[in-house]
């Protein structure tokens, strides 16, 4: 255990417990205890940040004694990723969550005014639940089999898929959102405890908005990350980890609307208490689902049991007990009235919206928990994305309809200009949807959804405009956020329902037409040795514009993992998404042979015996950089013997050029010196031009057959009669029975390898087919197979296979609306948060002398 870090955590633990104790005393009337409680909270905050700083320090100095540092970082990571390692693993992410929580508590103390003592008791308990997990599974523990002198010199590194700039942005925002849900929870419980059932919403609203903004931002950033990096073309997979963040977000959105409703109409108190508790409980439940291992077999995030399941269940139980317990305790006391608003009123629509949001959350929650639920009843199962998409669509339609109508409703009834505004907005929406249908939108439900989403967009836009025109910029936040939401809904429908996708195989240089685009694979681009391989694909649109897409497909050296990144070409009306599937490097034409010979060795190529006599160093000491080395060869053919000396010369700049030498008596046959191994004194020669190469080949087990031109070869067995690895003699033959046209015979091609003298093949003649040879290729002693190759000079030479790149081309219409809408949503959300924050600060929330 790394002591400084562990000590910091323990200090934080003790200080938080003490702070809670003093806050409780302060609730019971001991005013002076409050100062102590605050200071202890401050101390705890400092201690938590010290622990965080220590962990970051350990990561930066690469202290691989520490289990966390070893597991998630390595020497090759750059600084930003090293810092991101802080939240890459389980313990670190809890620490980050805790850090945010402590930070949020500081303004909360000042801000909660009258509610402070009770709120902080609950809030501290929430932080303590995280501290306890961190004490149980400390990020500072050393690796378990550490003995002195056994410190690993490098770590396991960060998962390559996480080595991405988004890794430095998405998790911190996500955990801020999680941490923020504890504030309305604490305020709600405090309100119940202290029996002040009304003002707490004013206090909690800005915090709930903060949750909605940060969680929403984090969720969609995660989607954007997946979209541009992972290559499967989507941004949302309904995976348990995704859903675990989505459900509390929906609950928080419902809470925000519920609190606004309560402030406007003075009712729905119980609903809001329940929602505030629910949002936090759902965060805890989501944490349980994703980190306890119960979904290990059902999620691509592959969680295994991390050792803290018991604690997570305890946390969940605690949150439920405290939250709903407090609510049950005060249930009968909470004032409750009924209202009399007409149907067409903001009040009613808000209730409907909250119901619809909760319905969505319930469905997603249920679907995500399916493995857990079915495990108890029958076989563990899960539901796929199709379930969620089917369920979400009708709710989405309802919500979009509500979104579009509500701006012109007031709390007690429709506004005066309701009909006009609605007509205007509806007409604009109908026109836009009509255009959409004209360009190809289909499907009744989808078109209905589109219509209502565009309607929502226009309604809220008009309302925003109205507000701005009246000078009420600050209160336009909510409407602006809904404008963004409308855009996002349109973008989601168009890009999911109307996308088109096709797979295509692109051989090098060949253009292919797909969905109106002309694609050409231009090759592999690797500008520097450490750059990731980029596949160059030229994309030409039907309008004539061209660009070069550069999707990546490379192997991460550390983990040997094949990683693919798509190329996303974002345009105004659609995205062109090129995703790598597979790369086939092909092979160069094979119509010859390669010989590896030491001095005095002979290799056979077809009818020629090539002997390497020695080097020709006459031109080896040329001027400047130009040297040439030759290999003196004796080439013995069936009719004549000749001496040839192919040269390998340097052309300056580290490049070498091999000059082929012709062989007399054989048209087109050349010998080329490809390489020299100075250490072993070997040369590598290639003899080409025989035409005909491998006409057919197959990998055979004993007893299996290969047929060629009417004759059947059966692989009988290996011939190991002169196989003596101890003596350095590797001669392996393959005994083949050949039967054809009534005759049977036996042939045994051999493979010779004797270390220094290189490899050679002793080919057997194919009975009945003059000129055709049978050769042994690759042999596998484990599987007891041999590759039998038929070399036929009349067979067309192997042209080789070109490089091929297979891709998936997808066109995603209007997806830009999703990201653009997100920006607008965030802007509106931030405006609303600021406004509500100021409202509460300005409000007079009395602090009575004693307890309340």
Partner 1 sequence: MNRRAVWTVAGIVAIVAFVAFGAGAFRSNLTPYVSFQQARSTADAVQVAGKLVQGSDRFDAATSRLMFSIQDEHGDVMKVAYKGLKPGNFNEATQVVAIGRFHGGTLEAEKLLVKCPSKYQGTEEKENHTSSS
Footprint (CB under 8 A) of partner 1, residues 121-180: 156, 159-162, 166-167, 170-171, 174
406 secondary structure, DSSP code: G
Minimum CB distance to partner 1, residue 223 (Å): 10
For residue 366, state whether it binds partner 1 (rule: CB under 8 A).
yes
Which two structure tokens, joined as six digits, stand for 734?
A: 């393959």
Ramachandran angles phi, psi of 642, nearest 5°: -140, 160
Determine the interface stretch with partner 1 among 48-56, 104-112, 380-388, 814-822 (rule: CB under 8 A).
380-388
End-to-end Cα separation, the chain, in angstroms: 46
Tell me: does residue 224 bind partner 1 (CB under 8 A). no
The rounded radius of gyration (Å) of the Cα atoms in the chain is 37
Residue whose CB is less far from partner 1, 389 or 475: 389
Which stretch in 237-245, 413-421, 604-612, 725-733 sits in contact with partner 1 by CB under 8 A? 237-245
Q: How far is the CB of 162 from partner 1 (least distance, A)?
A: 6
Q: Are 670 and 688 in contact (CB under 8 A)?
A: yes
Is residue 714 at the binding interface for partner 1, with CB under 8 A as the rule?
no
- Indicate whether 349 belongs to the interface with partner 1 (CB under 8 A): no
Name the one range near partner 1 by CB under 8 A: 265-273, 499-507, 519-527, 586-594: 499-507
- Name the one range near partner 1 by CB under 8 A: 25-33, 272-280, 295-303, 611-619: 295-303
State yes or no: residue 389 binds partner 1 (CB under 8 A): yes
C-alpha to C-alpha distance for 623 and 421, rounded to whole angstroms: 89
Nearest approach, Cβ of residue 381 and partner 1 (Å): 4
Q: Is 582 in the site for partner 1 (CB under 8 A)?
A: yes
As a whole number of angstroms, the distance between CA 67 and CA 78 comes to 20
**Is the Cα torsion angle 646, 647, 648, 652 positive or negative in sign?**
negative
Task: Sketch the per residue contact string, 390 through 409, with partner 1: x for CB under 8 A, - otherwise.
Answer: xx--xx--------------
Rounded Cα–Cα distance for residues 210 and 830 (Å): 8
Measured from the CB atom, the residue of 241 and 814 that comes closer to partner 1 is 241
Q: Which of 43, 77, 37, 40 is nearest to 59 (CA)?
A: 77
Please state, as a whole number, how many other Cβ atoms lie within 10 Å of the Cβ of residue 785: 17
Task: Find the shortest distance in angstroms from Cβ 13 to partner 1.
Answer: 23
Q: Which CB, 299 or 757, lies closer to partner 1? A: 299
Least spacing, CB of residue 389 vs partner 1, in Å:
6
* Encoded tokens for 217: 């931002």
**Among the residue ranges 1-9, 230-238, 698-706, 819-827, the one whose residues contact partner 1 (CB under 8 A):** 230-238
Query: How many other C-beta atoms are found inside a 10 Å radius of the C-beta of residue 149?
Result: 5
Residue (577 or 612) nearer to partner 1, CB: 577
Part in contact with partner 1 (CB under 8 A); list of ranges 272-280, 322-330, 359-367, 843-851: 359-367
264, 347 in Cβ contact below 8 A? yes
* Partners of 670 in beta bridges: 662, 688
CB closer to partner 1 out of 96 and 487: 96
Interaction between residue 594 and partner 1 (CB under 8 A): no
**Residue 686 interacting with partner 1 (CB under 8 A):** no
Q: Taking the complex as a whole, how short is the minimal distance between the CB of residue 72 and partner 1, in angstroms?
A: 8
Q: How many CA atoms lie within 13 A of 265 on its CB side?
A: 26
Give the torsion through C-alpha atoms of 614, 619, 622, 627, to 10 deg: -60
CA-to-CA distance for 79 and 313, rounded, in angstroms? 36
Q: Is 622 in the site for partner 1 (CB under 8 A)?
A: no
- Interface positions, 304-323, toward partner 1 (CB under 8 A): 304, 306
- Closest Cα partner for 408 from 420, 399, 400, 397? 420
- Of 4, 29, 335, 385, the one binding partner 1 (CB under 8 A) is 385
13, 273, 303, 612: which one binds partner 1 (CB under 8 A): 303
Q: Select the residue interacting with partner 1 from 80, 195, 198, 302 (CB under 8 A).
A: 302
Cα–Cα distances (Å) from 573 to 145, 439, 453, 517, 776, in that order, read 57, 12, 17, 15, 58
Angle of helix 240-265 relative to helix 170-194, nearest 10 degrees?
A: 40
Q: In the window 68-127, what residues touch partner 1 (CB under 8 A)?
A: 71, 87-90, 93
- Beta carbon nearer to partner 1, 40 or 162: 162
Q: How far is the CB of 385 from partner 1 (least distance, A)?
A: 5
Which residue number, 318 or 394, has a Cβ lying nearer to partner 1?
394
Which residues in 777-836 contact partner 1 (CB under 8 A)?
Answer: 806, 808
Hey, which residues between 417 and 456 contact partner 1 (CB under 8 A)? none
- 157 vs 693 by CB, closer to partner 1: 157
Q: Contact between 386 and partner 1 (CB under 8 A)?
A: yes
Q: Which residue has the tokens 């963004």?
A: 484
Under a CB-based contact definition with an 8 Å cutoff, are residues 360 and 238 in contact?
Answer: no
Out of 42, 318, 325, 380, name the contact with partner 1 by CB under 8 A: 380
Kindly state the smallest distance separating residue 450's Cβ from partner 1, in Å: 13
Residue 753 binds to partner 1 (criterion: CB under 8 A) = no
Residue identified by tokens 């062989």 is 663
Strand order in the sheet with 500-507: 500-507, 804-813, 574-584, 567-570
Query: Considering only residues 525-564, where is the footprint of partner 1 by CB under 8 A?
Result: 559-564
Distance of alpha carbon 765 from the chain centroid = 56
Within 779-815, residue ranges assigned H as helices are none
Question: What is the closest distance, in whole angstroms, from the C-beta atom of residue 374 to partner 1 in the complex?
Answer: 7
- Alpha-carbon gap, residue 33 to 324, rounded angstroms: 28
Q: Which one, of 271, 239, 372, 254, lies nearest residue 312 by Cα? A: 372
549 three-class SS: strand
Beta bridge partners of 142: 66
Residues in 505-524 at the binding interface with partner 1, rule: CB under 8 A? 505
> Out of 42, 318, 325, 359, which residue is the one contacting partner 1 (CB under 8 A)?
359
**Three-class DSSP category at 706:** strand
> Residues touching partner 1: how many (CB under 8 A)?
78
CB of 495 to partner 1, least distance (A): 9
């Amino acid at each position: 255990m790394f002591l400084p870090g562990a000590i910091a955590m323990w200090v934080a633990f003790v200080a938080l417990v003490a702070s809670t104790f003093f806050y409780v005393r302060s609730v019971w009337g001991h005013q002076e205890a409050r100062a102590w409680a605050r200071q202890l909270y401050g101390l705890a905050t400092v201690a938590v940040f010290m622990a965080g700083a220590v962990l970051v320090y350990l990561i930066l100095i690469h202290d691989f004694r520490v289990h966390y540092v070893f597991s998630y970082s390595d020497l090759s990571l750059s600084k930003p990723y090293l810092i991101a390692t802080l939240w890459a693993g389980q313990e670190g992410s809890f620490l980050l969550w805790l850090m945010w929580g402590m930070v949020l508590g500081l303004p909360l103390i000042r801000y909660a005014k009258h509610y402070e003592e009770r709120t902080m008791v609950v809030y501290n308990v929430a932080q303590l639940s995280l501290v306890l997990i961190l004490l149980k599974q400390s990020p500072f523990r050393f690796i378990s089999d550490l003995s002195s002198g056994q410190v690993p010199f490098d770590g396991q590194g960060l998962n390559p898929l996480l080595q991405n700039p988004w890794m430095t942005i998405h998790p911190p925002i996500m955990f801020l959102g999680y941490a923020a849900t504890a504030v309305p929870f604490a305020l709600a419980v405090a309100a119940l405890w202290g029996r002040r059932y009304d003002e707490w919403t004013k206090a909690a609203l800005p915090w709930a908005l903060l949750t909605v903004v940060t969680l929403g931002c984090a969720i969609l950033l995660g989607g954007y990350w997946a979209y541009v990096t992972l290559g499967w073309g989507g941004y949302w997979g309904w995976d348990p980890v995704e859903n675990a963040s989505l459900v509390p977000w929906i609950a928080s959105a419902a809470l925000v609307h519920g609190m606004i409703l309560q402030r406007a109409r003075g009712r729905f108190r119980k609903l809001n208490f329940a929602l505030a508790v629910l949002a936090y409980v759902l965060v805890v439940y989501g944490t349980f689902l994703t980190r306890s291992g119960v979904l290990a077999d059902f999620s691509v995030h592959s969680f295994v049991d991390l050792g803290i399941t018991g604690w997570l269940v305890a946390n969940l139980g605690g949150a439920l007990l405290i939250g709903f317990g407090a609510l049950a305790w005060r249930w009968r006391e909470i004032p409750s009235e009924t209202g009399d608003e007409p149907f067409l009123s903001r009040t009613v629509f808000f209730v409907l919206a909250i119901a619809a949001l909760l319905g969505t959350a319930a469905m997603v929650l249920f679907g995500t928990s399916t493995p857990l639920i079915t495990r108890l009843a029958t076989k563990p199962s899960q539901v796929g994305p199709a379930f969620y998409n089917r369920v979400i669509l009708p709710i989405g339609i309802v919500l979009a309809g509500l979104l579009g109508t509500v701006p012109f409703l007031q709390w007690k009834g429709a506004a005066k200009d309701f009909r006009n505004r609605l007509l205007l907005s509806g007409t604009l929406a109908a026109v836009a949807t009509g255009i959409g249908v004209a360009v190809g939108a289909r499907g009744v439900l989808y078109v209905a959804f589109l219509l209502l989403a565009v309607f929502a967009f226009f309604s809220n836009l008009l309302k925003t405009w109205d507000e701005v025109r009246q000078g009420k910029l600050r209160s336009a936040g909510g409407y602006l956020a809904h404008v963004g939401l409308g855009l996002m809904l349109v973008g989601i429908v168009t890009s999911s329902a109307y996308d088109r996708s096709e797979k295509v195989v692109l051989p090098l240089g060949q253009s292919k037409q797909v969905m109106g685009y002309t694609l050409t694979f231009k090759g592999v681009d690797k500008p520097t040795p450490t750059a990731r391989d980029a596949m160059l694909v030229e994309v030409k649109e039907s309008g004539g514009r061209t660009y070069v897409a550069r999707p990546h497909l490379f192997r991460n050296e550390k983990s040997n993992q094949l990683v693919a990144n798509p190329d996303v070409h974002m345009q105004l009306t659609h995205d062109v998404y090129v995703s790598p599937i597979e790369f086939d490097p092909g092979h160069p034409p094979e119509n010859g042979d390669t010989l590896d010979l030491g001095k005095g060795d002979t290799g056979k190529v077809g009818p020629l015996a090539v002997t390497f006599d020695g080097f020709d160093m006459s031109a080896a000491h040329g001027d400047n950089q130009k040297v040439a080395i030759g290999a003196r060869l004796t080439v013995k053919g069936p009719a004549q013997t000749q001496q040839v000396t192919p040269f390998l010369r340097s052309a300056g700049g580290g490049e070498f050029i091999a000059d082929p030498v012709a062989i007399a008596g054989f048209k087109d046959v050349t010998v080329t010196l490809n390489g020299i191994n100075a250490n072993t004194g070997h040369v590598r020669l290639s003899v080409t031009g025989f035409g005909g190469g491998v006409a057919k080949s197959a990998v055979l087990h004993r007893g299996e057959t290969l047929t060629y031109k009417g004759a059947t070869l059966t692989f009988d067995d290996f011939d190991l009669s002169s196989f003596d690895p101890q003596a350095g003699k590797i001669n392996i033959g393959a005994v083949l029975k050949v039967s054809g046209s009534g005759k049977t015979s036996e042939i045994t091609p051999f493979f010779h390898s004797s270390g220094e003298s290189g490899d050679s093949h002793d080919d057997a003649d194919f009975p009945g087919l003059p000129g055709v040879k049978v050769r042994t290729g690759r042999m596998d002693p484990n599987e007891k197979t041999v590759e039998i190759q038929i070399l036929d000079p009349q067979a067309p030479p192997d042209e080789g296979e070109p490089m091929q790149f297979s891709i998936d081309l997808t066109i995603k219409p209007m997806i830009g609306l999703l990201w653009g809408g997100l920006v607008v949503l965030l802007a509106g959300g931030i405006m609303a948060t600021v406004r509500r924050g100021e409202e509460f600060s300005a409000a007079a929330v009395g602090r009575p002398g004693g307890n309340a």
